[in-house]
Amino acid sequence: MTPIPLHATDTVTEQFLGYRELLFSVVYNMLGSVADTEDALQEVWLAWSARHRKQDAGPVENARAYLVRIAVNQALARRANLSRRQETYVGPWLPEPLVTAEDNASGTAERAESLSMAVLVVLETLSPLERAVFVLHEVFGFSHPEIADILGRTPAAVRQLAARARRHVHARRPRHRTEPDVHSQVTERFAAAALGGDLRALLEVLAPDVTLWTDGGGKGPATSLHPVRGRDQVAALFMSVAATLSPGEVDLRYRRVAGDPCALVFSGDSPLAVVVVDLTPGGDRIAAIYSVTNPEKLTGIR
């Protein structure tokens, strides 16, 4: 096998790195796992570099489309294994949060383009192909013919998958937009009330039918192994947690997850939880709370 000339190697690497953030975001939105996404991108790089080592291989006319096709198929190949791991997971499984600084709302490209925690949770109920089509079309604007080429399906089949996925997602999470400042204010009011043991303030910010998901994975603190529903039940649970905390035991910091505000709970320099809230269409009450406490999903937080 003839080695690639040095200047060609530089070009191959630069092309891959130029699209890496896009590839990361596509795969992460399909998997919800940073570790699996990084593994998939490693395979994409190996396939991309191997393609350029073939003596009889012609030039790649559209590097973006070629790399996205490899990345999507890597994600689909890993989806089955990830689903099997989720079947034996202890308690609710939530996507691994991608945290950025509060003063960098746009974040890096792969994080800014990632879907909200609430939408990622809904995407877990789609089939792998439906999820791939939804991510490629709704998030990144690929056309149905482009997606058909990526997935090896007909445009008509892709349109059907897209319609099913869109109906499914919108039925479970209707589109509504909350002003970022309002979302941040509600998040901070909730976190302060929940950890401060202020029952009245907590009840004021929770919707009557609020649902709490806690992902500890059997390794981190989990308030419940099942979703907790209802304002009184959720508030009582947080009051019991607050009662166990000593003054100064934990530290609250605020960042963003995929553009949405989140509360980080630290003990010293160690993260204990990432908490993201989803608001009602009116934007003044919390409809859902997602708390990730599994330490394996918090390794990237400093």
Q: What angle do CA 30, 97, 225 make, to 5 degrees?
A: 95
Q: How many domains does the chain have?
A: 3
Domain that holds residue 74: 1-88
* Distance separating alpha carbons of residues 110 and 20, to the nearest angstrom: 9
* Distance separating alpha carbons of residues 70 and 213, to the nearest angstrom: 33
* Distance separating alpha carbons of residues 192 and 238, to the nearest angstrom: 11
Q: Are residues 218 and 245 in the same domain?
A: yes
Instruction: Answer yes or no: is 97 within a domain.
Output: no
pLDDT per residue rounded down to tens, the chain (302 residues):
444 443 445 688 899 999 999 999 999 999 999 999 999 999 999 999 888 776 566 677 889 999 999 999 999 999 989 999 999 999 999 999 988 765 444 444 444 456 889 999 999 999 999 999 999 999 999 999 999 999 999 999 999 999 999 999 999 887 777 888 899 999 999 999 999 999 999 999 999 999 999 999 999 877 788 999 999 999 999 999 898 888 778 899 999 887 789 999 998 888 999 999 999 988 889 999 999 999 999 988 87
| % of the chain at pLDDT higher than 70 | 90
Q: Are residues 152 and 220 in the same domain?
A: no
Q: Are residues 45 and 68 in the same domain?
A: yes
CB atoms under 10 Å from CB of 193, counted, come to: 22
Query: What distance separates the 2 farthest-apart alpha carbons in the chain?
Result: 72
pTM > 0.85: yes or no: yes
Instruction: Answer yes or no: is 54 within a domain.
Output: yes
Cβ-contact 147, 136 below 8 angstroms: yes
Q: Are residues 147 and 72 in the same domain?
A: no
Instruction: Answer yes or no: is 107 within a domain.
Output: no
pLDDT at site 221:
78
Where is the domain boundary, 140, 156, 175?
175
Q: Strand order in 99-101's β-sheet? A: 99-101, 251-257, 260-267, 270-279, 286-292, 206-215, 228-229
The domain that holds 65 is classified in CATH as 1.10.1740
pLDDT one-digit tens code per residue, 221-247: 777 889 999 999 999 999 998 988 887
Instruction: Answer yes or no: is 288 within a domain.
Output: yes
Q: Are residues 72 and 140 in the same domain?
A: no
Tokens, residue 25: 């975001």
Instruction: Answer yes or no: is 26 within a domain.
Output: yes
Q: Are residues 164 and 225 in the same domain?
A: no
* Distance separating alpha carbons of residues 208 and 127, to the nearest angstrom: 31
Tokens, residue 221: 């603190």
pLDDT at site 22:
94
Q: Are residues 74 and 132 in the same domain?
A: no
Instruction: Answer yes or no: is 83 within a domain.
Output: yes
Instruction: Answer yes or no: is 96 within a domain.
Output: no
Phi, psi of 226 (to 5 degrees): -135, 155
CA distances from residue 188 to 64, 93, 181, 230 in whole angstroms, order as listed: 40, 24, 11, 20
Instruction: Answer yes or no: is 101 within a domain.
Output: no
